Every structure is written in C-alpha cells, then in structure tokens.
Chains A and B, each alone.
Chain A
Amino acid sequence: MRTLRPLMAAALVAGAVHAQDSAPPSGPAPAVAAEAAAAPASEAAPAAVPEVTQARPPPEEFAGCNQGPAHGLPEGPVALGYFEADMATGRRACPRTEVGLGGRFGASIDTPNFYGNLGINGLLFGSFAVRPDVELFATLEAANFTYTVNAVLTATQLTLGNFTLGGAYQVLNRGTVMGGVSARLLLPTSFETPGARAVGGELGFAASWRPKGWLEVHGYLGADVTSAFSRANPYTRFGGLLMAGAQLQPVSWFAFVLDLTGRLGEVSYFAPTAGLRFRIFKFGIEVGATLPLAGNDRHDFIMGARFSWRFD
C-alpha cells in the first residue's frame, strides 16, 4: 500500500485543484485533503499542497450519484472487456468504494484457421472513493490461465496476470446527468509474455444519465495505448473506444444492462454486452457476456462474473 500512496496523494491533489477551479472557496479544508498535504514531500505531488484550500462540495451536489442504483448494486457499463485487466471496459461515472473478486472466461475458436484460445482470469479489483468526486481503482489478474491451440499443438500457461491502476474524477454533476474522466495505467506486472512486460494507459470520459430511478443510460469514450518493456519491437498500439448502454433496474436488488461497444485500433470490434446485476445489501453480483459482431477481434465470446462488497 505504501507504494500506492504517492499516486493516491497526487490524484487527491489533482482533484482538489480542479475543485478550486470550479467552486467558490468556502469552509474548512477536508480532512482527507489535509492528510494528503501532510504526506512527505517526496511522496506528494510537488507544489500542490499550498493550493489545497477548498472545501469539499456539499453532499447534496452529488445527488445524481446518490440517486443511482441501490446500494451494493454494480453500476455503469458491464466490466467485461477484451484486454488486459479491465483495460478498455469503460468506467462508471460515480465514484464508490468497494472490493471484489471476479472471473473472466474468453474463447476464440477459429476452426478454418485451426486456431483456438481459451483464457481464464481470476480478478481482484477494488475502488476507493477518496472523495465523493474522486475515485482510485485497480484491477489485478491474480491468476491468468491460457490454453491455446495451433492446429493439434496445444500449450497452457498459468501466471500472475496484468495489473491496472487508475483514478477517476467526476467533472459533471447536473441533477440527473453525471460525467467523469478517468485514467488507467497498465503496469508491467505480468509474467505471461516471454521477453516482454506489457505497459499502457487509458484515458476516458464516462457519462451517466439517470432520468428515472429504474433507468440509467451510460456511455464512455476512451483512448488507450499499450506497449511493452521488451527485448523486441514493443508494437505500441493505440485504440479508441466508444460505448453506450443502459441499465434497467425494476427492483432494488436486480438490474439488467445492455451495452454496445465499438473499438477502433489494431484490434477492432463492435460488440454488444449484456449483464445481470444483483445485490444483497452491500454485496453485489454482476454476470455478463459479450461477443463481437464485427471487426477483427477473434473472440467468439467473453463471459464473466464479479462479486463485490461496497463500503461507502
């Protein structure tokens, strides 16, 4: 946790600076900000501490997020993607604090080309709402199992997978409409690639409109880059992602989500994703599946499940 502290502090400071830009000065500095200011100079973002003078916006300004799905129910786009550790899966607009376990299973079966690939990820994920408008989040592929077929030759692999770490900041909160920017870094933790360690990043904007208590319409626009620390050509690759979807929540403990995702880049696809969400108090369950209908991605489908516990 100690190694994450500078990043957290930096994110907090960045969020505070933004607050200074958009809200009138009033009230005492929030305790959490003060904690960031009190961090050692070597760990905190430089020159940020003197600017941390703004009060946290009153809670009622985050009514949109508060009007969201019932406590514990996952929200935003279904977190089921085609890439490393939740890269390019979109992001919810509202911060929250939660931890969870998940699994992802993807299959590519290309019989005419004698190719097959099955991938199973065991995921640890979590987010921490540093403030009502700031969130840090991370996903770790704690176990990454791959089974790949080349004609009749097969191989398996079980390694520590990828790790992504990011932050989100809510920049729009107009009653039923919310929006936030997010950034995610793909860190070189995985041992799965011989001769290379994958790295990358993603920037995105997530929006949510909640016209009714039972309906959320959400979207995400993002750009990502992946590369590698490698003895070989790292093949730095860029991509753009556009996602739109809706969540219907007929009862407080269940919701249905349908997202449509289009991606352009070295790997491109257009894919619907469907998800079912449940909650038991603060315990949330999300199961989903996606399959590309167009593009060059070779997945036949990806399915996954997540179990989370919400703290805030």
Chain B
Amino acid sequence: MTRLVWLGLAGALAAAVGAGCAKEGCLGGEDGCRVPPPCQKVAFTCSGGGALSVETISAPAQRPGGWNALGARGDVKLSNGVVDLVIAGVGTQNYLDPNGGSILDLSPAGQAKDTVNSVFQAVGILPNDAAWYSTLEIIDERPTRVAVQVRGTLDGRPNVPVSTLYELRPCDPGVRVRTEILNGSTDNQTWGLLDGYYWSGRESLPFAPGAGEGFTHVSFGLTTIQKAFRAFPYFAAAGHSGDQQVSAIGAASCTDPQLTGFHSDQISAAGLALEVVPPRGSLVFERFLAVADSKDVAGAIELLLEVRRQVLGETPVTLSGSVSRVGGGALDAERQASVLVSERTLTTPADAGIPWTQVVPGADGTFSVKVPGDKTYVVEVHAFGRKEIEKQFEVAAADVALGDFVLPGIATLGVTVQDAASLMPIDAELFVVPETEAGATALAGNLHGRFTTCSPWLGPPPGASPACNRILVRNGQATAEVPAGRYEVLAFHGPFWSLGRELVDLQPGSTSLSFSLTRLPLKPAGALSSDMHVHGAASFDSSIPDLDRVLSFSASDLDVIVATDHEVIYDYGRVVRDLGLESRMSTVVGLETTGHIPWLKVKDYGFPLVIGHYNFWPLRYDPSLPRNGAPFDERIEPGTLFTLAKTGFTGLEVIELNHPWAEPEFGRDLGFPRAIFLDTTKDLPASDDGSGNGASVYIRTPPGAAYPNDGHHAQEVLNGSDSTLHLQYRAFWFYVLNQGRLKAGTANSDSHSLTDSTVGVPQNLVFTATAAGPGFDVTAFNTSVREGRIIGTNGPVISATLEDAAGQKQGPSVKPFTPKAGASVEVKVSSAPWIPVQEIRFVVNGAVVKTIPLLAQPMDPFATSGDLVRYEGSTPVSELLAGVSGDAWIVLEAGATLPLTADLGGGLDLAPKDGKEDPDGIPDTTDNNGDGVVNAADVSPAGEDRGPLNNPPLPKRGAVGYYFGAITGGPPNAFTNPFVLDLNGDGKFNAPGVKGGR
C-alpha cells in the first residue's frame, strides 16, 4: 500500500513539476514577465528605416491631433514615423475602458487624423468582462521596437489575469497586438477574446466582408447580440466626416484565417470566436491593426491583405480604374465618388454579394484596390449617396484594369444671404428640399446604406457642411454641389428671423441664389438666446468640425452657447474668435458627463445601471489633463459626481439633468430618473428611507458627497429639434415641481451635427442682466438660469407676467412669491410667420386647466412683416386655481396641440407580478392606431408593454407648418418656467404632491 501511495504522490508531483515548466508570455503570472512579440510572421520594409519613439505625454503639444484624439498627460505615445499610437495611462478611464491601457489614438504619424475613440479588450458584454489594467510598462528597445505592456485582470475578477502588448516596429503601417488571458477562476466561462472598437455613431464606419455585409451589418441589441457574431477575414473602418481629417484603420489576425465578432455604427468587436474556457484555460490573440492615410477602407484593407499574404500565403490582385464626370468637376471627396467592390454578378441581388473593399478615387479620378483573386466582382460607383454605375468583372489571379466610369453631371449651387435691414452678409443654414415627394424619393441617398438617408444627400450627415441636405453659409456665402433636380432652398437664421425660400431647377452647371432675411421683433428685451446643450467633434459621438459647429451657432443667431461635449471639457472660444464672432456671441466652457459602465443597482431590478447624463458649466478647460480636466464619472452616484465636479467650476455653477426620461441606448441609461425606475405616481419621501428603490436613490446623498442625487439646478424639458420625448420630460418636470423640488426647466438642441438637430432649436430665452460678447458675465447668466428665468422654445415666444403682493410684475421663475389678490396672468404669444401656434395651455400643479385653442395662423410663412402676435390677454389666477388647495405653480405652454397619450408601463413589475411593467406616471404611448383611445392596441412591436410615443405626423406640403417641420422635424413647442405661488403667505412653497393639491 505504501507504494501505491507513493505512486499517487509521484503522479501528483509529476503534474506539479510539469505544471511548473516555463510559461508562455505572462500567462504564468510571474513578475517581470514579457508578453512575446506579436505577429512574428509579419514584416514590413520601408526606406529610411522608420524612426521609433516612445514618450509619456506631459504637455498639450505632445497630444496627437484629429477629431477623436484623446491622448493627454500620463498617456503613452509611440511612433515609428508611419503610425502614431497612444495608450491610455493606467488609472485613466475612458468610455468603456475602466482603468486605462486601451488604445486611445491611432493615426498616420504626425497628422491630425485620428479616427479612433477607443480600442479596448473584453471577453463579453458585461462590465466585468472588460480588461482592467493595473500596470503599464514601457518597453524601449530601439531600434528594434517600442512597446507598451499592460497587465491586469478582468474588471473586478482578480482571478482572471489579462496582459496585452502593443508593439511598433520600424516601417510597420500599424500596431502589433497580443493579448493573453487565463481563467484562474473555478468556473467554466464563455469568452470571446475581443478588441472592442467604440465608434459611438461617429464618423467611422466599420466595413467587413460578408454576404450582404460590407458597411451593412445585422442590427442587434444587448439581448440579441450573439446573433450578430460573424467570422470575417478582416475588417476596416474609415472616417466619414466629410473633411480632410480622416484616416482608416483595420484589423486582421496574425495567426488565424478569420476574426470573429460583430459590427455596428456604435461598436465593433473583433477577435477570437466565443468558446467555453474551463478553469485553467487560456487564450492568446495576436492581431495587426493597420493604419492608412486614406479616406476609404481600401487603404487599410490593402495593408491587411499584405498581412494575410505573409501569414496565410494568400495573394491578392489589384483592380485599377478611373472615375470621371460629365462636365468635369472635382473628385477628391467621398460624397463625389465612392467605389464599392463586391463579389457577385450583376444578376445577384446587391444585398447577397460580398463587399470586399471600398475606395475614394484621387483628385485625378484614378483608383486601385487590392482584393482576393479568382472571383467575379461587381464594381459600383456611388455619388451623392446613390449608386450611379455598376459593372461586372471576372478576376483571375492577375491584376485587372477596370477602365473608366463616367458619372452624370452635377449642379453647382452658389448662395448669398444677407440681413434685409443692414444688407450685411450673415451666417445662415440652407435646407435643400426636393420640390415634390416623387423628387424626394428619386434623390434620396445615403453612404453605402449607413447614416441617415437624406434627400438630396449632399455629404455625410454627421460631418462637415454640406451634410445631408444642409449647407452652412459663412459670412453670406456658400457653394455646394447638388444633384440635378427641382428643389426648394430654405435659408434659416434662427426662429426669430424670417425664413427664406427659393424654388430652383438645378441642372449641371452653376446656379446662383440670393436670400435676404429679416430679423423679426420677437426676442424679448433682456433675453439671451441660449443653447445649453451642444456637441461638436470633441464628443465621442460627433464629428462636425469645430469651425462648422461654431458657424452653426451663428447661423442660428445664438447669443450664448454652453459647450457640453461628452466626457471632455471643451472650449469653442478660439474658433469663435477665429470667425470674428466674439463681439456678439459668448461660449461657456462646459461638459456633459456620460456614464458608460453599468454598476448601479436599484431594488427589484437585477441589471446594473448608469446614472445618465448631466451638464456642468462653467468649467476650467485644461487640455493637458485627461478629458481636458473633466471629472471621473463612472461608478458614482450623481451626488458624488456633482461633488467631484465642484473643484473645476470657474464661476457660479449650473448642473443640468439632461433628457431625464430618455430610453437607454445599448444598455446605457441616458436619464437618471428613468434609469432608476422612479415611480412618479407616488410622492417622494421626505428623506431617504433606505429602501434602495427609485425614490430612495433619487433623493439620497451618497456617502461623502456634498450634493444629494437630485442636487442639479435645472433639467431639460425640451431636448432636440424634433422634441420627440417632450411629453415625458415635461411630465417628469411637473412631478418634481409638485414635489416642491423646484428645478429650472430648459430647452436645448443637444445637436451633434447639422443633421440630427439644429442648434438653437429649441433654445432658452434667458432673462438676465448680462449681455453676450466681451462683457458677458457667466455668474449673472447662471444666476438667472438657476432661478428659472427662462422661456424654452423652438419658435413660439411666450411673454407672461403676474403681479406679486407688492404690485411688482413678476416673470416666471422657480422663486416663490405671493400674488396680489385678484391678480391675473398677463400673456402674449408671438412667433415668426413660418412657425404655427395652435393653442396656449395653462398648467397648474401638473394639470392643464385652461386651453386657448385654434389661434389664427399667418397666411404667408415667408412674410417679413405684419403682426406676429398670435394671442394677447389675461386670465385671473383665481380661475386657474379653482379646485386647488394649498400652494400652486403655473406653467404656460404654446405650440401645437398635444397628442393623446397614456401611461401603459415603464415601471418595474412589482404588484401584481403579472409579467407586465407597472405604470410609472410618465406617458409612454400615443394613439398610434388613431381610434381615439390609447391602449394595448397602440403598442408596437408585439410583446412590448408600452410605446411608441410618437410625434404627430409632420404637415404635408402646402399645409400650415410644413416648413417648420422641414427645418425641425417636429411640432412647435414653448413653455415658461413656473410662477411658484406661495398662496398662504408662509414664506415658502408647500409642495402640492402628486395629486396636485386636488
């Protein structure tokens, strides 16, 4: 028996000895380990050898350039003279990377062309599936290589070590990457070791070969993501911002024929296939991330095919050709010509082919691409969002000359815009609208099926002008190429100006138009037109260049703009000065915090949440710091976030709750109260009852915080030009007012481009003592904002006053006062002729108590004179407060009639547990089947408990309000902040509660 025992022990010992053998890379977990050099089969050569450098960024001058560039102090920049690469320093959280170590910037060396938000490593979709790197080591082995090695674990899973090496070698047109991960847990895992590419709907679009794919990908949500997993030989993405600051990146495996992952315009994943990884299992992923100085994916794909040639022995062929246009014209932009090469025949449906590459011809019209040989290809040439030509080619193993592709001629539209009074040129925005529905259908286009479909499609919607069907006019001048057709061209200079219109038949050649716009006497004295929520290319989900962004502020005739880019503090001041606008426009440095990593739990809901979005201003802009000095905003409650932001304020601060009831996007909540399932059918407790439910979380003060979670000063009531969720934001605002938590209501565009929303539509008319321009006093402005001295509007202007007990006329504000006995609300509503106002509503304690309907509409929407007043009158307070006891607040609204809505769900399924969402007090569904009632029959898609909440259909051509709809995409809306009435004179406002004192 003794020997048997010894035999067993010997076996175990042998295992241990064997296990103790030298380990691969850092999989053994040893201190001082090195991840092996990746992609050893791959080699690139160049003349001059490529100068390697590696440095830790310590000053703004070292930061790389480009709209997506993020590198900042503490991050590591590597370069080989071909490629610049920035790795986030450890402790620097960015987006979905929880603690640094991800790729922040990747671009052609020395050029401001970064198109990468973030490339990070993950094994799944949960927060704890992302790599949390805790150490970063710079490897400087010049002249052979420079590299960064990061090591850590999966986020919150210390028994799952992860190591990644990023390596640059001389001449490499990209970065070599190797990641190692080990399942040190005692459970089986499902992992796909993946690089996550966070595009966030920005200008970069992923392209991957696959049947019916290319730029088009299977749509999916968090719960259906697995069906989107595909195998593909490579993928690439190029920037499509419509300007010159773009490049292309791509990835291919250095060991395997395929990558596996998924793609969308929000995020791509590419790496190893999903597999079961039992305890002690390890995965290794080596890939080459190519970088090309090109406007198309072909630049990166050519490099990736070279990697595959070296790794797999594949030999691509070259297809070359040229594009020209009848009547000549430039061909150096993607909107003008884009060539898509797909494996299919002309008889094969386009959506069944396999797109292999896409190229933008050079200025001389020539192009060449590399593709796999021995296939039949169809070469399509697209221009202005539409496929114009396609030809079929049989390709064997030799290069093929494709010949010339001749595009139809294009019209060139020249426009001048001036102020009718001063005859001075003004900045403006043009909307090009096909004259007829048939024309709109014929001229509709998009970028290879991506981004917004526009008619006409003049350029990539998220980028520079021309974008979609919109053209910016700078200092009264604009020129743009437009496909031939009959159009209405609308000239817009904000909602308080007349709207210009010209009908034009554009044919190849040049056409000129002139507009003269009139400032209408609409904006009240002492009010500043203010948009306190705008985005530019500094945001991770925007790519409109700074110049176009600021020009759009001026085109909408705004006075004050608060920069609220996602996750980075930003300052448009320099561009304002460059454009000579500083004498009449003021920009405020600010920020929109944007939670990315779900973590917050509320009672009775199993999924982790993020806290949504908040705006902060004025803040200190420090471009040397990560996020330009923005506070860390992940895994903290709002009160803690407000506290962290406090140190960065440069004046009286405003914290604004944004789009409070917006639906989550990809599992990321956008509005805090919606995220935590706040039940607005119930009153908030006086203090946190510790229950952890939505109400408890909403009002509590996190440990160590100086603010409660509802410590914001203002909240959005209108967001976006189309006002889509206005009814929900409005309902929530009314709820908090009824709770006595008096927050100023605001109206902002939340514009990310020229296309999604027009800046200044909607906007705030802030009644303040300061003026825009050199003497602008942000503290005075913010004092007015915090006091709610604001009219929110996308066109109609409401003037409303009410005498207080002392006989002073008071405007709307969240400051309570006691009204004079027998006082009336004096109201005047006016608007530009092109902005219809159908009714005025008086809202008392959350309920509409009086409606003044059917206001007269102007006959000529393009009139530049005449009576702009739609209503003027007074209403006794006593009439409005009938049936209400206690204190009260009054809000006035003007605009379109409100659609019929109901609250069918949205809340947690608590009692009864019937598998359906409980009502939450917020309207969520409109009368979508038009039967006069809102019920389950209005809900779609099938299986949902609620929604959608639709705007009324836009007016048809020729109907009142058509042009307003063409500009905004939604109905007219305006509201005042409340008159907060201390009716019992006790010096405070006593909250009426959810029943509104009734």
What distance in Å separates the Cβ of A57 from its nearest Cβ neighbour in chain B?
14
B129: which A residues are within 8 A, CB to CB? 150-151
Across the interface, do A152 and B223 meet the contact criterion of CB distance under 8 Å? yes
Is B438 part of the binding interface, using a Cβ–Cβ cutoff of 8 Å? no
Q: Determine the chain B residues whose CB is within 8 A of the CB of A7 once the complex forms.
A: 7
Q: By the criterion CB–CB under 8 Å, are B19 and A14 in contact? A: no
- B866 contacts partner chain A, Cβ-Cβ < 8 Å: no
Q: How many residues of A contact B (CB 8 A)?
A: 65
Q: Which residue of chain A has the shortest Cβ distance to B129 in the bound complex?
A: A150
Considering the complex, give the chain B residue whose CB is closest to the CB of A144: B278
Majority secondary structure of chain B interface residues (helix, strand, loop or mixed) = mixed
Q: Of all chain A residues, which has the CB nearest B18?
A: A229
Question: Is A146 engaged at the interface, CB distance under 8 Å to the other chain?
Answer: yes
| Contact partner, B15, options A45, A147, A183, A227, Cβ 8 Å | A227
Q: Which residues of A contact B871 (CB under 8 A)?
A: none
Determine which of B3, B125, B275 lies in contact with A151 in the assembled complex, contact meaning CB atoms within 8 Å. B125
User: Which B residues are in CB contact (< 8 Å) with A112?
Assistant: 606
**CA–CA, A199 to B187, complex, Å?**
17
Q: How far is the CB of B488 from chain A (nearest CB, A)?
A: 47
**Distance in Å: Cβ of A311 to nearest Cβ of chain B:** 22
A149 to B124, CA, bound (A): 10
CB of A9, distance to nearest CB on chain B (Å):
11
Interface membership of chain A positions 239-270, coded 1 if the CB is closer than 8 angstroms to chain B and 0 otherwise? 00000000000000000000000000011000
Q: At the interface, yes or no: A15 with Cβ under 8 Å from chain B? A: yes
Whether B9 lies near A152 (C-beta < 8 A) is no
Contacts of A13 in B (CB 8 A): 3
Bound CA–CA A117/B187 (angstroms):
8
**Of B5, B19, B20, which one neighbours A181 at CB under 8 angstroms?**
B5
Contact indicator B189/A150 (Cβ below 8 Å): yes
B15/A200 in contact, CB under 8 A: yes
With A and B bound together, what is the CA distance between A228 and B20 in angstroms? 9
- The reply to whether B277 and A48 contact each other, CB–CB distance below 8 Å, is no
Residue of A nearest to B25 (CB): A231
Cα of A169 to Cα of B129 in the assembled complex, Å: 47
Docked-complex contact B189 and A233, CB < 8 angstroms? no
The reply to whether A155 and B275 contact each other, CB–CB distance below 8 Å, is yes
CB pair B7–A150 under 8 Å, yes or no, is no
| A78 neighbours in B (Cβ, 8 Å) | none
Binds A, one of B200-208, B280-288, B327-335, B445-453: B280-288
A196 closest partner in B (C-beta): B280
Cβ-defined contact, A199 with B15, below 8 A: yes
Interfacial chain B residues near A152, Cβ < 8 Å: 125, 222-226
Q: A154-B190, A231-B24 are in contact. Are A201 and B226 (CB under 8 A)?
A: no
- Contact indicator per residue, chain A 212-237, by CB within 8 Å of chain B (1) or not (0): 00000000000001011111111111
B19–A150 contact, CB under 8 A? no
Other-chain residue from A114, A153, A225 in contact with B12 (beta carbon distance below 8 A): A225
Q: What residues on A are CB-neighbors of B959 within 8 Å?
A: none
Q: Is B985 an interface residue (CB 8 A)?
A: no
**B942 on interface, CB distance cutoff 8 Å:** no
A27 within 8 A of B: no
A68 to B28 Cα, complex, angstroms? 49
B8 within 8 A of A: yes
User: Which of A48, A171, A183, A233 has most chain B Cβ within 10 Å?
Assistant: A233
Q: Mark B1-36, 1 if CB is under 8 A from A, else 0.
A: 111110111011011101111011001110000000
Partner of B182 from A149, A166, A183, A233 at Cβ < 8 Å: A233
Give chain B interface residues in 113-141, CB to chain A under 8 Å. 123-126, 129
CB proximity of A138 to chain B, nearest CB, Å: 14
Chain B proximity of A307: nearest CB distance (Å): 27
Contact A156 B276 (CB under 8 A): yes
Q: Is the CB of A154 within 8 A of B226?
A: yes
Are B12 and A233 touching (Cβ within 8 A)?
A: no
* A270 nearest CB across to chain B (Å): 16
- Any B CB within 8 A of the CB of A66: no
Nearest residue (CB) in A for B601 is: A112
Which among A33-41, A187-195, A271-279, A286-294 touches the partner chain?
A: A187-195
On whether the beta carbons of B19 and A194 are closer than 8 Å, the reply is: no
The answer to whether residues A14 and B124 also contact, given A152-B223, A232-B280, A236-B16 and a CB cut-off of 8 A, is no
Q: Does A203 contact B (CB under 8 A)?
A: yes
Is the Cβ of B276 less than 8 Å from the Cβ of A153? no
Q: How far is the CA of A154 from the CA of B279 in the complex (A)?
A: 17
Residues of chain A from 1 to 16 with CB closer than 8 A to chain B in the complex: 7, 10-11, 13-15
CB-CB under 8 A for A155 and B3, given A193-B281, A234-B280, A235-B280: no
Q: Please indicate the chain A residues that have their CB under 8 angstroms from the CB of B37 in the complex.
A: none
Expressed in whole angstroms, the Cα–Cα distance for A231 and B27 within the complex equals 7
Say whether A95 faces chain B, with CB atoms less than 8 Å apart.
no
Q: Do A153 and B226 form a contact, CB below 8 Å, given A48-B3, A229-B15, A231-B24? A: yes
A194 contacts B279, C-beta separation under 8 Å: no
Question: Is residue B81 contacting chain A, with contact meaning CB distance below 8 A?
Answer: no
Is A94 part of the binding interface, using a Cβ–Cβ cutoff of 8 Å? no
A45 CA / B5 CA spacing, docked (Å): 13
A108, A171, A193: the one contacting B1 at CB < 8 Å is A171
Binary contact readout B465-504 vs A (1 if CB under 8 angstroms, 0 otherwise): 0000000000000000000000000000000000000000
**How near does chain A come to B602, taking the closest CB pair, in angstroms?**
14
Write out the residue numbers on chain A whose beta carbons fall within 8 Å of the beta carbon of B186.
Answer: 237, 266-267, 296
Measured in the bound complex, the distance between the Cα atoms of B191 and A194 in whole Å is 12
**A148-B189 contact, Cβ under 8 Å, with A194-B277, A232-B23, A232-B28:** yes
Within 8 A of A (CB), among B16-62: 16, 18-21, 23-24, 27-29
Q: In the complex, are the beta carbons of B124 and A169 less than 8 A apart?
A: no
B interface residues with partner A (beta carbon < 8 Å): 1-5, 7-9, 11-12, 14-16, 18-21, 23-24, 27-29, 123-126, 129, 161, 180, 182, 184, 186-192, 222-226, 274-284, 606
Contacts A150-B190, A225-B16, A232-B23 supplied; 16 other A-B pairs, CB < 8 Å: A15-B1, A18-B1, A111-B606, A148-B189, A150-B129, A152-B225, A153-B125, A188-B15, A194-B277, A227-B15, A229-B21, A231-B27, A232-B28, A235-B184, A235-B279, A235-B280
Q: Closest 6 interchain pairs by CB?
A: A234-B19, A232-B27, A199-B15, A183-B8, A201-B12, A195-B282
10 A-B Cβ contacts within 8 A?
Answer: A166-B8, A192-B278, A193-B280, A194-B281, A198-B280, A228-B280, A231-B282, A232-B280, A233-B28, A233-B29
